[in-house]
């Protein structure tokens, strides 16, 4: 009798492991204690108490031997480090922007762009908010306006480009407030808070055409733009035979610059940049960077960090790397879908997102279903995830009331080149056990709420 063989896997990693980092295994009783001490906030756990850390893909990648070798080539001069010039050339080559201002990480670049471009009373439309991005826009006196397509808010909608901008909504905003009040459109690729969903090339081109008519700039949040480019290759007609690198370059060409957290796509543990095509804006940014980050040739990074990032960019755009990266995330997502665990569809680029509203219909959003679910997952098997729901959404800056996002999610975020397929199986099995126990959840109450970006440090107790 012949046994049915599974389909051949096409996403196996184009690398092998050279160094390992042992992990502490904990008991359930230890984890129950740890989550209480952490105020039911996975950000407040000690990483030593975590088995599989899917809190974030930010700064958690494994660097290659070529990147580590580059660390030894660090030129730690205060000014004019050779590693800066290498980084600048690499960004120019792969992202296509003219000017580069290095920053310690993405939010450093967001601060610079917001300070330079936004006047009090301005509006900044974008394809769904991101926590730090929106806060910097608000601190500069702007108001973020969500112009993502409506299907982005529906976890079950299977459309391939749920990160797209709703052109009608953008046009309506321009008519309502006037182009002069819109310094730029902030386009994220992929869209983190929507489940890592990509935006299509066609949509990006259409946004460019519309904004050109009104003299409005476009700034990309390019944090995961390489993953976005790979999705375009996979899903958009006409791009299958183009390389990820070619697609990335074309995508960026429809924008005026970008903010970037190198801690994601670019495979490093720290670093970021602001890229600009406009010389005047660049001069302003390279002046302002010395106030907040450091000289314009290091921006808060050591020379060795800039070298690692330059090399990480080169590795990040390789098709084989991206196929394994996206393939691993898809693998975890498929397992969960096969077992009936509710996740955001289609599976996104950097994470699988559990739908906490579907887990816990017995809880209201004020009872923090996603926070509850992230804590339950940790207690079950030591898997650390992140809340991406009402806690992350924060409060309305005018009314002080909670934002109530339609999506109430828990993000299982996959670090790049870190965990194995067996780890993914453990995660899926644990999520399935928590799903089986869903009727027992009673929710949480917030006992401490910090003023800024509360999800990082808020504390909770069981209801
Ligand atoms: O964490 P930073 O400051 O390097 O980058 C901020 C940032 C900007 N844009 C986007 C889309 C992000 O995802 C982002 C950071 N994300 C984190 C930390 C995350 O866990 O998703």
What pLDDT, in 10s, does the model give residues 276-313?
A: 999 999 999 999 999 999 999 999 999 999 999 999 99
- 272 CB less than 6 Å from ligand 1? yes
Q: Share the mean pLDDT of the chain.
A: 97
Instruction: Say yes or no: CB of residue 221 within 6 Å of ligand 1.
Output: yes
Helix (H) or strand (E) holding 53: strand 52-53
Distances (CA, A) of 281 to 47, 117, 149, 256, 369: 40, 8, 30, 11, 43
- Residue 285 neighbours by CB under 8 Å, 6+ apart: 99, 101, 112, 113, 116, 274, 276
278 Cα: distance to centroid of ligand 1 (angstroms): 24
For the stretch 69-124, pLDDT in tens is 999 999 999 999 999 999 999 999 999 999 999 999 999 999 999 999 999 999 99
CATH of 65-316, one of 3.40.600.10, 3.20.20.450, 3.40.50.2300, 3.40.640.10: 3.40.640.10
Q: Are 262 and 273 in contact (CB under 8 A)?
A: yes
Residue whose CB lies within 8 A of the most ligand 1 atoms, among 104, 106, 349, for a mutation test: 106
**Token pair of 26 as six digits:** 């904990």
Specify the pLDDT at position 380. 98
Contact 107, 168 (CB under 8 A): no
Residue nearest to atom 20 of ligand 1 (CA): 56
CA distance 64 to 72: 13
Residue of the CA atom closest to atom 10 of ligand 1: 223
Alpha carbon of 11 to those of 321, 329, 378: distances in Å?
Answer: 9, 10, 28
Q: How confident is the model at residue 10 (pLDDT cuts 50, 70, 90)?
A: confident
Answer whether 143 contacts ligand 1 (Cβ < 6 A). Answer: no
* Cis check: omega of the bond before 282, within 30 degrees of 0: no
Nearest CA to ligand 1 atom 18: 58
The conformation of residue 197, written as its DSSP 8-state character, comes to B
- Sequence ranges of the domains in the chain: 28-50+319-462, 65-316
The whole-number pLDDT of residue 397 equals 86
- How many A from CA of 95 to the centre of ligand 1? 18
Which residues does residue 389 pair with via DSSP β-bridges, in sequence order? none
DSSP secondary structure letters along 287-331: HHHHHHT--TTTTT--HHHHHHHHHHHHHHT-HHHHHHHHHHHHH
**For ligand 1, is residue 305 a contact (CB within 6 Å)?**
no
Q: For ligand 1, say whether the CB of 335 is within 6 Å of any of its atoms.
A: no
Cα of 261 vs centre of ligand 1, distance in Å, is 6
- CATH tag for 28-50+319-462 (out of 3.40.50.10860, 3.50.50.60, 3.30.390.50, 3.90.1150.10): 3.90.1150.10
Q: Both tokens of residue 289?
A: 């960077």
**At residue 6, does pLDDT exceed 70?**
no
Distance (Å) of CA 184 to CA 4, 167, 216: 54, 14, 6
Torsion sign across C-alpha atoms 74, 80, 86, 87: positive
Taking CA atoms only, the protein residue closest to ligand 1 atom 5 is 106
pTM of the model: 0.96
Ligand 1 atom, smallest distance to 350 CA: 21
Burial annotation 34-70 (CB, 10 A radius, 16+ → b, else e) = bbeebbbbbbbbeeebbbbbbbbbbebbbbbeebeeb
Beta bridge partners of 413: 351
Provide mean pLDDT across the span 37-48. Answer: 98
Q: For residue 221, what is the enclosing H or E element?
A: strand 217-221
Active centre residues (catalytic): 78, 130-131, 221, 264, 388, 455
133 lines ligand 1 (CB under 6 A): yes
Check pocket membership of 130 for ligand 1, CB cut-off 6 A.
yes
Determine the 3-state secondary structure of 253 from DSSP.
helix
Taking the C-alpha atoms of residue 243 and residue 229, their distance in angstroms, rounded to an integer, is: 9
Residue 261 beta carbon below 6 angstroms from any ligand 1 atom: yes
Closest CA to 192 of 260, 131, 125, 263: 131
């Amino acid at each position: 009798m012949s046994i049915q063989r599974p389909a051949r896997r096409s996403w196996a990693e184009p690398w092998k492991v050279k160094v390992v980092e042992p992990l502490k295994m904990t008991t359930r009783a230890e984890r129950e204690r740890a989550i209480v001490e952490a105020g039911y906030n996975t950000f407040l756990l000690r990483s030593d108490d975590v088995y599989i850390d899917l809190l974030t893909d930010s700064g958690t990648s494994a660097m290659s031997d070529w990147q580590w070798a580059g660390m030894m080539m660090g030129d730690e001069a205060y000014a004019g480090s050779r590693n800066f010039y290498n980084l600048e050339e690499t960004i120019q080559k792969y992202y296509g922007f003219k000017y580069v201002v290095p920053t310690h990480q993405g939010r450093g670049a967001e601060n610079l762009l917001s300070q330079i471009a936004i006047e009090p009373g301005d509006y900044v439309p974008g394809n769904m908010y991101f926590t730090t991005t929106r806060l910097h826009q608000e601190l500069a006196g702007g108001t973020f306006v969500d112009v993502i397509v409506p299907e982005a808010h529906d976890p079950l909608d299977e459309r391939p480009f749920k990160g797209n901008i709703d052109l009608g909504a953008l046009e309506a905003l321009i008519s309502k407030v006037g182009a002069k009040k819109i310094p730029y459109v902030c386009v994220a690729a992929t869209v983190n808070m929507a489940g890592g969903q990509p935006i299509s090339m066609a949509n990006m081109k259409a946004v460019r055409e519309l904004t050109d008519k009104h003299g409005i700039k476009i700034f990309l949040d390019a944090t995961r733009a390489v993953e976005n480019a790979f999705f375009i290759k996979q899903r958009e007609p006409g791009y299958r035979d183009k390389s990820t690198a070619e697609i990335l370059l074309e995508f960026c060409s429809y924008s005026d610059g970008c903010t970037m957290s190198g801690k994601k796509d670019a495979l490093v543990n720290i670093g970021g940049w602001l890229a600009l095509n406009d010389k005047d804006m660049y001069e302003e940014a390279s002046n302002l960077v010395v106030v907040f980050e450091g000289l314009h040739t290091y921006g808060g990074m050591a020379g060795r960090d800039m070298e690692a990032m330059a090399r990480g960019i080169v590795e990040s755009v390789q098709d084989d790397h991206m196929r394994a990266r996206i393939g691993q995330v898809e693998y975890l997502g498929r397992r969960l879908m096969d077992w009936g665990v509710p996740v955001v569809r289609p599976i996104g680029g950097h994470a699988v997102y559990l739908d906490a509203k579907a887990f816990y219909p017995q809880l209201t959003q004020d009872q923090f279903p996603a926070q509850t679910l992230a804590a339950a997952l940790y207690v079950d098997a030591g898997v650390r995830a992140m809340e991406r729901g009402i806690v992350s959404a924060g409060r309305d800056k005018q009314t002080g009331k909670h934002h109530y996002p339609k999506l109430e999610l828990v993000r299982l975020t996959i670090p790049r080149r870190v965990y194995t397929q067996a780890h993914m199986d453990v995660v899926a099995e644990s999520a399935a056990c928590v799903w089986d126990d869903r009727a027992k959840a009673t929710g949480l109450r917030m006992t401490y709420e910090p003023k800024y970006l509360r999800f990082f440090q808020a504390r909770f107790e069981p209801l």
